Amino acid sequence: MPIATPEQYAEMLSRARAGGYAYPAVNVTSSSTLNAAMRGYAEAGSDGIVQMTTGGAKFASGSIADMAAGARAMAEFAHVVGEKYPVLIALHTDHCTPPEAGNFLNPLIDESERRKERGEGPLFNSHMFDGSSLPRAENLSLSREYLERCNDVDIILEVEIGLVGGEEDGLDHTGAAETALYSTPEDALATIEALGYSDGRYMLAATFGNVHGVYADVNTKLRPEVLGDLKEAVVERYGDAAAFNYVFHGGSGSTQAQISEALRHGVVKMNVDTDMQYTYTRGAADHIFRNYGEVLKVDGGVGDKKAYDPRAWMKKAEESMAARVVQACQELGSVGKSLQAAVTTQAS
């Protein structure tokens, strides 16, 4: 089974919303971290989302430092390898800000438009346009333009209102005022007025004290109840059909209670990056520390090729990260709920 089709991705999100669970969205930067993410989803029996930031895609492109090329290459790799997995994998791009859109988001949508002309599905299932640094009206105006363009090629758009704290791939909001880190009912109503009902066409990254990274001391407090306030505002004015499909940014380090409350308010996707970075590196470090004299040629020794072969420590890194993906699926309630498993069972 290839990467999720647009119809399957829409069904994934719809089922999650109806069932009160969500999918982990794991940031990847290489074929190794991509393999780890897909392995984790398979072990959990969960469909899932893998995503790339502009910085992650730039890194994946190597010395050419071309973020669009890196994203395309990783997506093509996923389309090929993903066919062998028993669960559905959706592809997403994360946090593309207005200054980066011309070199990242636009060429990726261009590629999906070319694919559509050939009778193929889109390269990515969804893209994020992050205009949260702009005045709200300008953010929503540009978001509307990208929404129309994405929907024309069966891509779901993710938009953001409010700032996410912390720092990720050069997107630094560590000094932002705390009040800017919480979306308001007025933000939610303005989103409906500008973009219409979500209705599977877009996801909303509303902020409720989210922070990229895990810090001993942060300038904000996570308040998932804010999502409930936003939902109440739009439902009161427009009815139940106006409720959003929410995205939870900065999921690393969150408690189970915080995650569960966010799910109750309509979160269908939770981004988990920092914890994945740590567990991947932890697996590699564990191998290196345990095999120090074999990995390195110490005191004139020759080492052990089996220990310093990159495949040895990368295997341990992937195993460690995959286990953290399984944990995320457990926390979000998606374990054993793969749409692909249901399709396979029906077909047999």
Domain annotation for the chain: domains and CATH numbers: 6-347 (3.20.20.70)
Question: Whole-prediction pTM value?
Answer: 0.92
From the list 47, 94, 130, 273, the catalytic residue is: 94
Q: At 348, is the pLDDT very low, low, confident or very high (cuts 50, 70, 90)?
A: very low
Question: Is pLDDT above 80 for 246?
Answer: yes
**pLDDT for the residue numbered 341:** 65
Residue 73: Cβ-neighbour burial (10 angstroms; 0-12, 13-18, 19+):
middle
Is 94 noted as a catalytic residue in this protein?
A: yes
Q: Where are the alpha helices (DSSP H) in 153-224?
A: 185-195
Question: Is pLDDT above 50 for 40?
Answer: yes
**pLDDT for the residue numbered 312:** 98
Beta strands in the chain (DSSP E): 23-27, 48-52, 89-96, 126-129, 156-161, 165-168, 171-172, 202-206, 211-212, 246-248, 267-272
> Cα separation of 253 and 267, whole Å?
17
Q: At 200, is the pLDDT very low, low, confident or very high (cuts 50, 70, 90)?
A: very high
Question: Is pLDDT above 50 for 161?
Answer: yes
**pLDDT for the residue numbered 324:** 98
Q: At 166, is the pLDDT very low, low, confident or very high (cuts 50, 70, 90)?
A: very low
Average pLDDT over residues 276-303: 96
**pLDDT for the residue numbered 340:** 83
**At 158, is the secondary structure helix, strand, or coil?**
strand
Question: Is pLDDT above 50 for 296?
Answer: yes
Question: Is pLDDT above 70 for 304?
Answer: yes
| pLDDT > 90 in the chain, percent | 84
